[in-house]
Structures are given as structure tokens and as C-alpha cells.
Amino acid sequence: MRYPTPKGIAARFASILLLVPLYVHANDGETLMQKGGANPAALPCITCHGADGKGMAAAGFPRLAGLPEAYIAKQLADFRAGRRENPVMQPIAQSLSDEEIAAVAKAYAARPKVNVKPAAAGERPQPGSGAWLALRGAWERNIPECTLCHGPSGVGVGSAFPPLAGQGAEYIEAQLQAWRGTRAVPATKKTKAVAAVPPTRRNDPNGLMQHIAADLSEAEIKAVAAYFAGLGESPEAFDESQHRLR
């Protein structure tokens, strides 16, 4: 048996040190956002979710900055498992490792949360408007106000209820449509039958969102999406006490 020389030990130690940055890379959420995962199919997140993580509203790419860590990790697991179908995100989620998902979820959650300017005193929603649905709901049809679960001004609550404020109208609409699917339309003398499309998002605990989405009209979906998309970001830092449920 040969004992390593001090020079040999030094060389081995140096090679271990060289490996350290590689290890850090794979688990560093910030690097993952900018450069993508170890598998090249895990494209850099910033390409679509923006350099600041605030998404690209016009393209329908959602904001990830400030979303709850557990919510982000859950969505990536849902895309992987096919409980949430999407041709763009499914292959990306499938090519991220568990460690990469944990790291990127943590890094996005650490970015600033969306904050909303408080409503002006005396501002009242108009019955039937998007604001009315968001703040009052339609209890006669068992639809609670969105802010009951998504927090005052839709800034999100805890790790299960994501913010709606700060998301684009296109994205909000697309999610409601994904939960709802489309009903079959029977053929008439003039038109062909349209087959039902089952919901493509089936990941909501207890079907909370599927029930709500199914009972909203097309016009209501558009109105409530426009309301949350239009809330506008407050330049002030997020202050939990301002958004406590009352």
C-alpha cells in the first residue's frame, strides 16, 4: 500500500475545492433562474418570467416574484405529475431535479411580494362589476368573494392561497378557463357538435377553484381578471399588517 505524499494530498484537496462551485451551482436558485437547470431542457426561467420575476403580462407568463415558496414548489410538482397540463411548463418541470425545484421556489419567494395601494376612502364597487365579484362574491350562486381566500386586495395568504394582484389578465383568465374546461355543445341543423374539453388544471385542494370557475360566466371571468390585473403595484414595501384579514 502506498501512502499519499503531502503533494498528492494537496492535489486531491484542490480537486475537491474545484468541485464545490459546481455543487453550489445546481442548488443555487438565482443561478437557475438566469441560466437554467443542469438538464438543458430546464430553460432559464427569466426568458419567460422576466428578469425581475414579475412575468410578462401580455404574453400570459405569470409573475413568480414573491409567490409563496410552498405554492411554487407545489405547482412545479403538479406540472410534473400532469395534474396541471401545459405544453410549455410540463417539460420544464419534468427536467428539474427535486433539489432544483426547492432552490428555485425559495429564491422566487425571497423576491419582493406584490403590494397594492389601499382603496381610496369611499370607493365602493358597482354591483355586477369585476370589483364586486372580487370583494363581495355572488353568494346567491355559492361564489364567495375572491378576497376571502386570496387575501385583502388579492395579495395572497399563507402558502396555499396565491396572490392574484400582480398577475396579468390573460393569465388569470387562462387559469379560470383551465379549471372549468368547456361543456359539450350538441349539433344543430346549422352547426356541428362541439366535444367537451375536460379541465386541464385539476390541482386545487378540495376542488375549491374548479367549483368557482365552473359557475362564473365568460363575462365575469373577464371582468374579475381585469380587476385584479389593474390593481397596480404600490411602490411601498409589503407590510403584512396592512393586509390583515378583517
Positions in the binding site for ligand HEC (CB under 6 A): 32, 37, 42-43, 45, 47-49, 60-62, 64, 67, 72, 74-76, 84, 86, 88-89, 92, 96, 104, 133, 143-144, 146, 148-150, 160-162, 164, 167, 172, 174-176, 203-205, 208-209, 212, 224
Cα–Cα dist 196/62, whole Å: 27
**Beta carbon of residue 8, minimum distance to ligand HEC (angstroms, whole number):** 40
CA proximity to 200, closest of 182, 218, 173? 182
Comparison of 16 and 59: residue with beta carbon closer to ligand HEC: 59
Comparison of 95 and 234: residue with beta carbon closer to ligand HEC: 95
Comparison of 155 and 172: residue with beta carbon closer to ligand HEC: 172
Nearest 10 degrees: Cα torsion 236, 225, 141, 197? -140
**Beta carbon of residue 108, minimum distance to ligand HEC (angstroms, whole number):** 7
Comparison of 64 and 131: residue with beta carbon closer to ligand HEC: 64
**Beta carbon of residue 15, minimum distance to ligand HEC (angstroms, whole number):** 30
**Beta carbon of residue 120, minimum distance to ligand HEC (angstroms, whole number):** 22
CA proximity to 166, closest of 177, 158, 178, 155? 155
Helix (H, G, I), strand (E, B) or coil at 61: strand
Comparison of 115 and 175: residue with beta carbon closer to ligand HEC: 175
**Beta carbon of residue 162, minimum distance to ligand HEC (angstroms, whole number):** 4
Cα–Cα dist 100/93, whole Å: 10
Cα–Cα dist 238/53, whole Å: 16
- Which amino acid would we find at residue 156? G
The residues facing 185 across adjacent strands are: 194
The grid coordinates listed for 78 are: 403538479
